[in-house]
Amino acid sequence: MYNHGWPRKLFCLTFPLLAAVLATPGTVLAEDYTGYAALPEIDRDRIVWNLHEQHQWGLPQQKPICRDLLETQGYSFANQIAWTTDAIDLVQKQGWKDLSPLISKIYERPKNIWIYERAFRYLRSQEGKSISTNIVAAADILKDAGSYRTAVSNEDLSAAKERLVQEADKDAVTVYTLMVAGWHAGKGGTDRGRKAAADVLKGLDRETVAQRLRQLRQGMGAEIEWVANYLGISLEDHQ
């Protein structure tokens, strides 16, 4: 917990960037973060951590940080997903359309299903295209079907699967069924929901699904291997 006394308030008001700029001894950056990308990865991660901790994330001068996070899809630490999705949020908030190609690259070569889904939502918003709430709701039913003590009946599960199979927006179906198939149901859960999602994936373009699985394997390992094995897809990179 933070000490919200006047010294900290004064510090945050007077030097809002100091905690990030002086992330490590000897690390000094300009207020516009020039030179940020040249820092060691651990220092960059600490800077982003400090910005969040000090509630200073989301400022216009942090564009170089966003660019780096999008280019790397986060750093090899525990907050990889949060940092990258926050960067996409900030790009959308600030209207930095020149960074959109980096988000397109994330969608085309994702390392993580949650970053993949956030990139997809961003790109759809930029195109002025909506994502069907029916797809999201059906995918949620599949996800809940594997949860501990789930209330999802076999009939509900079958109906949700059929809804996804019949949907015309195959790109969205791919994204949201991969999110279910590509992650375990948690403590006490079962594979019931993810198997249903994988069954939906069987009806989609096989090479598209295989390509996504090969890309996601880099960041998700065993979870994605489970999907590939269920679908009988080789994760050898054939490109």
| Predicted local distance difference test score (pLDDT) of residue 237 | 65
| Predicted local distance difference test score (pLDDT) of residue 14 | 36
| Predicted local distance difference test score (pLDDT) of residue 238 | 57
H/E stretch holding 30 reads none
Max intra-chain CA distance, the chain = 62
| Predicted local distance difference test score (pLDDT) of residue 77 | 72
| Predicted local distance difference test score (pLDDT) of residue 34 | 85
| pTM attached to this predicted model | 0.85
CA–CA distance, 23 with 36 (Å, rounded to integer): 11
Query: Structural domains in the chain?
Result: 9-126 (no CATH), 130-231 (1.10.220)
| Predicted local distance difference test score (pLDDT) of residue 203 | 96
Any idea of the CA torsion for 172, 57, 102, 72, to the nearest 10 degrees?
Answer: -100
- In the structure encoding, which two tokens stand for residue 53, read together? 């901790």
Which residues of the chain register pLDDT less than 70? 1-28, 237-239
Answer yes or no: are the C-beta atoms of 87 and 47 closer than 8 Å: no
| Predicted local distance difference test score (pLDDT) of residue 2 | 39
